[in-house]
Amino acid sequence: MTGNHPGLEVLFADNHLLVLNKPAGLLAVPGRGPDKQDCLSARAQAAWPDALVVHRLDMATSGLVVMARGIDAQRSLSLAFEKRRVYKRYVAVVCGALLNPLPDNDWGTIDLPLLLDWLNRPRSIVSLETGKPSQTRWRLSPQLPAENPQAHTGIATRVELEPITGRSHQLRVHLQAIGHPIVGDTLYAPLDAPAKADRLLLHAQAIEVPHPFTGERLLFESPCPF
């Protein structure tokens, strides 16, 4: 059951699991300072006091977030993320004409280790020497909406992404590293990039998780807003 909860788009809610659709521009968890306390987790906890954080999306990213209800559910979901039993798919629009060299638009893999750039936080960087293993699967999106003309001209390319690991800013850094930063990325895209947007064009479109109580695998999807 979802119900009516102001400030929240609820896709699923029961006694163990919440699935929420986060808009771009809203923090997933509180930040530093009194002006950064409004966030998805705080709004969820106002409706469900036992709601607990399991994973996050960047403030600029929209899409699906799951939360646990109670510590037992949090442990179960956190273990599922740790053991890579959670499937996630994102949609992004990246700068430039990205071509898939694999036949039939098969999934390719970006395999580049990542490291937090401590001198330029919150940025991350590719570090072949000391970075943590990081892998992202990608392919060209089979859906090219007519209302997004950039995706048809070579100025930008619409892609689907599946993170295998879950490093900070992984998708954003991996795409920058192959020469195609995400459109609207104020941290990783060049200021003079031909493709422009008033938000980061990255959306968490699908997530499949084992239910923390029953173990049943549940798939949720959120239409891409761009």
Q: What does the H/E/C string look like for 108-128? A: EEEECCEEECHHHCCCEEECC
> Which residue is catalytic, options 58, 72, 106, 198?
58
Can you give the pTM of this predicted structure? Answer: 0.93
Structure tokens at 56: 């996050």
- Dig out the tokens for 110 from the structure: 């970006």
Active site residue 58: yes
Instruction: Quick: pLDDT tens for 59-109.
Output: 999 999 999 999 999 999 999 999 999 999 999 999 999 999 999 999 999
Sign of CA pseudo-dihedral 14, 52, 170, 37: positive
The DSSP secondary-structure symbol of 168 reads T
State how far the Cα of 7 lies from the Cα of 186, in Å rounded to an integer. 26
Can you give the pLDDT at residue 1?
52
Q: Which H or E run contains 67?
A: strand 62-69
For the chain, residues with pLDDT lower than 50 are 146, 149
Q: What is the pLDDT at residue 52?
A: 98
- Nearest alpha carbon to residue 212 among 52, 11, 20, 64: 52
pLDDT of residue 32: 87
Q: Which residues pair with 13 in a beta bridge?
A: 18
Alpha carbons 70 and 167: distance in angstroms, whole number = 25
CATH of 10-221, one of 2.60.34.10, 3.50.50.100, 3.40.50.720, 3.30.2350.10: 3.30.2350.10
Domain ranges, ordered by start, for the chain: 10-221
